[in-house]
Structure 1
Amino acid sequence: MATETVIAEGEAAGGFNIHPMEQFRITPIFGDGDVGLFTVTNAALWMALAVLCVIGLLVLGTRRRKIVPTRVQSVAELAYGFIHKMIEDIAGKEGLKYFPYIMTLFMFIVFANLLGLLPTAFTSTSHIAVTAVLAMAVFIGVTVLGFVKNGTAFLGLFWVTSAPLLLRPILAVIELISYFVRPVSHSIRLAGNVMAGHAVIKVFAGFATVLWIAPVSILAITAIYALELLVAFIQAYVFTILTCVYLKDALHPSH
């Protein structure tokens, strides 16, 4: 309450009106009621738009393929080749069976990140609830796959045979903890980086209303926007490459 009072007094006195975390609030698209289980929210809308963008690029954009590709076809082919090579280099040819899922995952995160940079847009990947679902899907999927493919030999992932025998139980505990921390770090890394960048942009946008520092603020916003465009791709790349590493562990668990 004290913080709200200070903010209200600052606004009344003509001070700064900067609320960088307001942009991450989930709200209903229709009406102003509470968010329920089946409420259509801004998060659901922008995730749906990201899915439509993926379909537009990979399905509609390549429907009439040509020897001399169009720009849309070129982008789709570059993305296809990039992810295909990533999976093959990290998980081997056996990992290419899971290419459709990993490709879809990468493209969804890229478009969700890029759409979030549009003015008045909502960045769905800034919410841990979204990234945690993506990370848990990967974690559960590779764990099940590891046991299906290797049986109890999958547990060899936690037993470091190259280490001295006395250290192996200790390392096994560390490896086990590290394995179950994967979905946490996998999800927080993406959500945290996206949220931090957008919050900084919002702060500088608030300072842009002050006449004497507006030019500096606008230059800073432009620079951060350029950086966030890069981050949108880098974070999708990091999330995907970690997925490929986890897939490799499931396919080839022995140390």
Structure 2
Amino acid sequence: MAAESGKIDPMHQFKIEPLFGQDWTVAGHNIAFTNSALWMALTFLAIWLFMLGGMKRDLVPGRWQMAVEGFTGFITNLMDTNIGPAGRKFTPWVFSLFMFILFANLLGMLPVALVGAHPFAVTSHLTITGVLALATFAIVLIVGFAKHGFHFFSLFVPHGVKGPMAAAIAPIELISFLMRPFSLGLRLFVAITAGHILMEVLAGFVINGANSASVLGPVVSFLSFALMIGITLLEILVSAIQAYVFALLTSLYLNDAINLH
């Protein structure tokens, strides 16, 4: 937490800074290795290690293999339920989204401040969540037009609606469709950012209350610490829920592209 003269700065944790004190520039573009890049690399490493432990294919699976198979089975069932057999080919993409968001969210919750470091929640930046949402939206468009051609536009006219009513509803449906990537990326960004701001503010109350000369200082510090524990547990749950919601909405959007209705 960045603080000066007792002031709480909950936004400092979201600042992207180059590591190793270097600001590398190539052809006018900054390519410095930042704290955001570091935590994304750690996220990919954690996912790789997790999956590596579950790829043994033992006849009698251990707990690690069962955990990996549980995740893969969960996403496979999600795709089968929302899309059907045709959705199996998109399972790797949705599984990758789910695992990246889940691990990134959870790594951003690690208490590494105890050893002098600071976690960085990469999903608290709209640039990250926006890219994931736009990539998903692009896949939906490509699949929709590749499978249905211009008939894909029938998605914007509800079944059974004709005439002037169809002409009035189609633009509304189109706008709603075009807003999908914004809502998809914004939802994850807002949820993670708000949670980390709240935890940072409560951490500031704990520290400032403990250092206060006031009689109520320790009371405020204790109550803030107790509330912080509850909020932290809630944020761990939110981390998993947001990964699930992103994967669920992705499967629903792909269903619209594959099975027009």
Q: What amino acid maps onto 1:77 in structure 2?
A: E
Where does residue 95 of structure 2 map in the other structure? Answer: 103
Deviation at 1:33, TM superposition (A): 4.0
Measure, in 2, the Cα distance between the counterparts of 1:41 and 1:230.
28
Q: Which runs of 5+ in 1 are unaligned?
A: 1-6
Where does residue 37 of structure 1 map in the other structure? Answer: 30
Q: What amino acid maps onto 1:132 in structure 2?
A: G
* Residue aligned with 1:30, SS: helix
Where does residue 47 of structure 1 map in the other structure? Answer: 40
Measure, in 1, the Cα distance between the counterparts of 2:59 and 2:198.
44
* Residue aligned with 2:71, SS: helix
Where does residue 78 of structure 1 map in the other structure? Answer: 70
Query: 4+ residue stretches of structure 1 with deviation over 6 A?
Result: none
Equivalent residues, number: 241
Measure, in 2, the Cα distance between the counterparts of 1:113 and 1:70.
26
Match of 2:57 among 50, 54, 65: 65
Deviation at 1:70, TM superposition (A): 2.2
* Range that drifts further, 160-169 or 125-134: 160-169
Where does residue 222 of structure 2 map in the other structure? Answer: 215
Q: What amino acid maps onto 1:101 in structure 2?
A: W
Structure 1 segment 6-25 matched on structure 2, within 5 A: 11=5, 16-25=6-15
Q: What amino acid maps onto 1:205 in structure 2?
A: A
Deviation at 1:34, TM superposition (A): 7.9
Measure, in 1, the Cα distance between the counterparts of 2:16 and 2:145.
38
Measure, in 1, the Cα distance between the counterparts of 2:107 and 2:65.
20
Q: Which runs of 5+ in 2 are unaligned?
A: 112-117, 211-217
Match of 2:188 among 187, 190, 197: 190
Deviation at 1:54, TM superposition (A): 1.3
Match of 2:235 among 209, 218, 228: 228
Contact 1:128 1:191 in 2 (8 A): yes
Q: What amino acid maps onto 1:52 in structure 2?
A: L
Deviation at 1:161, TM superposition (A): 3.1
Measure, in 2, the Cα distance between the counterparts of 1:40 and 1:21.
21
Aligned residues: CA RMSD: 1.6
Contact 1:86 1:241 in 2 (8 A): yes
Q: Deviations over 1:200-220 (max 9, x none)?
A: 000000000213211111111
Match of 1:203 among 191, 201, 204: 201
